[in-house]
Structure 1
Amino acid sequence: FTNYFGVTQFTKLKKTFRFNSSIADISSEFVLKNPFQTKKTITTLENVKAPSISLLRQTNKVIPGNNEKFNKIISKLSKPPDSSDSSYLLGRYLQVDKVLKAIIKLNNKASVLIQGRYNFTIPSPSEMELHREKFPTLDLIKNTIHSSKGKEADFVIVLGLQSGKNGFPSEKIDNPLLDALLPTPEDFEFAEERRLFYVAITRAKKRSYLIADMSSSSAFVNELITDNYDIDLNEFDITEDQKITQNFYCLKCQTGIMQPKINQKNKSKFYGCSHYSLCDHTENGCVECGSLMTRISENNTKYKACSNCNKHWIPLCVECNGEMSYRSGPYGFFWGCKNYSSNEKELSCTFSSNKIQTPKGFNDAEIVSKNLKRDTNIQNTDNKNEAQSDNKYTVRTEAYAYAKKLAMSKKITVNVVEKDGYWLVESKKP
């Protein structure tokens, strides 16, 4: 600018009358993480002691199921009601609804600005209509963050704080031709997005609310938590899933995060990689409460344990971290890695053990084996001798693996047949 126009005077605006000291401190600390950002200290008219930025950590996908109340909401938010986006519409509606309930307790005649990085991340007209019907005394408006520049409200709600190319910060890669026409950017990741986030949280006079699903939370949200910014993490209740899911990485691709999902056939809950369909890795939750299970390593033993009900645990393979299953083989029962595959030997894990050390405070391995019957198909683990025949298996894949091995070693033809809940390997009669 100086090189083009000549002599100039640079004046910093250091005092604001819009927001309080908490918002000023947090927003300034955040934007100044960029070393190329102009350094200045903001002073405010209103000084507060408590944090004025809160984080709501709540899932953004809710399956209505047979919940009559949820289905009524869905019918007003999407057409038809079984729209593929309905679970996300309901999830976002419930997130905003929870924050509005908190706001109306503080000020029942306040103005509220709901904003997001993209237009599709903010409530639709039908969503806004439902919120206005429920909270008629609140002045509710919505805008993208770019459109919010220069505006203000008593309270601000920021949506769309997830990772990805359509997240915030946006991880889209700009067209090289477009980059050539623009000024050289700072050598700092998400510099412009960081300034945009500063704009978002400083639209509030009194308080800013950030909403994120921690199973897909953005880099900005993770930074606020891990770098111990002075934000309020205790205003809202948080489920155990949301507490630990941000550290629950996919074992297969190493970059995805395991997210709660619903089996559409039997409505059971499981966890799948956030990179699906590029990664198809799935894991089961606790058989007692369905919660996410955390991986623990101690005393040369690895296992997953439910941190919610503290009743269920699953031993893990010490070589690949896969779940261990209680299985039957030609020489009796044993613990084998679930990542074993007779068809893909190069990718298969062959680790096995006759005995698993039980973690302190949990049931012994025999009881755990009963909890694993949905994976191993064991019909009755108490009656071991019944399944110890060298041609009788409780797991279909193991029966076929043994049949293949037997056929090759003995040079005979074998059949695998199902009988009385077991898989039998039999020599084929000529």
Structure 2
Amino acid sequence: MKCNLLTLCLSAALLTPIAPALGSTDNKADMVLDQVLVLSRHNLRTPIVNTGILTEVTDKKWPEWDAKSGYLTTKGGALEVYMGHYFREWIDQNKLLTDELCPTSNEDVYIYTNSLQRTIATAQFFAAGAFPGCKVSIHHQPEIGKMDPVFNPIITNGSPEFKEKALAAMGAYLNGLSLKAGYEELDNILNIKDSQKCKTDKLCNLDNQKNSFIIEADKEPGVSGPLKIANSAVDAIDLQYYEGFPANDVAWGLVDSPEKWQKLNTLKNAYQETLFTPKVIAKNVAHPILNYIDKGFVSVGKGETAKFIFLVGHDSNIASLMSAMDFKPYQLPQQYEHTPIGGKLVFQRWTDKRANKGFMKVEYVYQTADQLRENAYLSMKTPPKHVTLELKGCPIDKNGYCSWKDFQKVMTTALEQ
């Protein structure tokens, strides 16, 4: 069996078939798709950190990018156009919107993003793929570059009690992880023992350094130390691969097996999850976006809001929201990031016409690592990957559907602080 770089090779006997489209079910004729809400991470961007500390922990030169730090790349735009094209085919197949080329109003489609370049641009490219030639408004705060409160994963509880609980939760989460192999792999790739940091600050390996967590009101949860350095370095390396840099330029040609990619991304996933998924933190930082979703999707009747709602934010939004809502653990085949670039939580509200009951189905739709690198075209025939998710408070049937009433209860519980 041939394996592409960054692709897990699994025995065919262990692979479960992946359906070609979202929301497929045995009793399709009885199921009607009423409404969809998508929470998307922006697509491919340049590294947020590509200078400073990264130049100090290696004696090697990092590849240069042709866009500003943290900006959506041209390729990221193309990837999102393809994703939009796939979603439009799925929308049409399930007759969510009227059979017209363009949405007729905000009652059909509503797109709302964080007010950063990469999130706004992601939404623009998605709309170009899903609704080509149509005038579709992209809603966001007027000041570009300033975080929208709905998407800003900051701590809003400034009490000493909350801080104590949050810091303890972060420490406990990180202590439960085994990151030694990942740190050692990154040390070797960076050749950190010959770096400036090793010479001046005695930072010659990452595994035995101490992390210090940061919880402050009106700021994102933070950490200083090796976990932050590792996250920035692995993020830059992942993005090199996705962008299509020559193999010898991706981590200087030193990440040459799925096992190495897996080790490296244990560090990146650990950073994201330690900061944003401990329950006490997640319910606090995800509250604004949960509240927005509840008011615009969950607690309203069918027909009172847009049929297709598309939100564009960040991995921190998805990670904290999933923890606050109590999603069960999941795996994304052929991806190493737990909240990958361009990945989407797709909340689908269905009605069983025969039983006259409402249902919810949630899927993670994402491009694999190699689909990202290869700029793979997406359609119903060549779809992105998708994984059906389950909430602890909303048990699913064999087709992935849970009761709409149970889902409403999940949201009520998630919003409690």
TM-score (norm 2): 0.26
Greater fraction of residues in strand: 1
TM-score (norm 1): 0.25
Greater fraction of residues in helix: 2
**Which of structures 1 and 2 has the bigger CA Rg?**
1
User: Relative contact order: is structure 1 or structure 2 higher (C-alpha 8 Å, sep ≥ 6)?
Assistant: 2
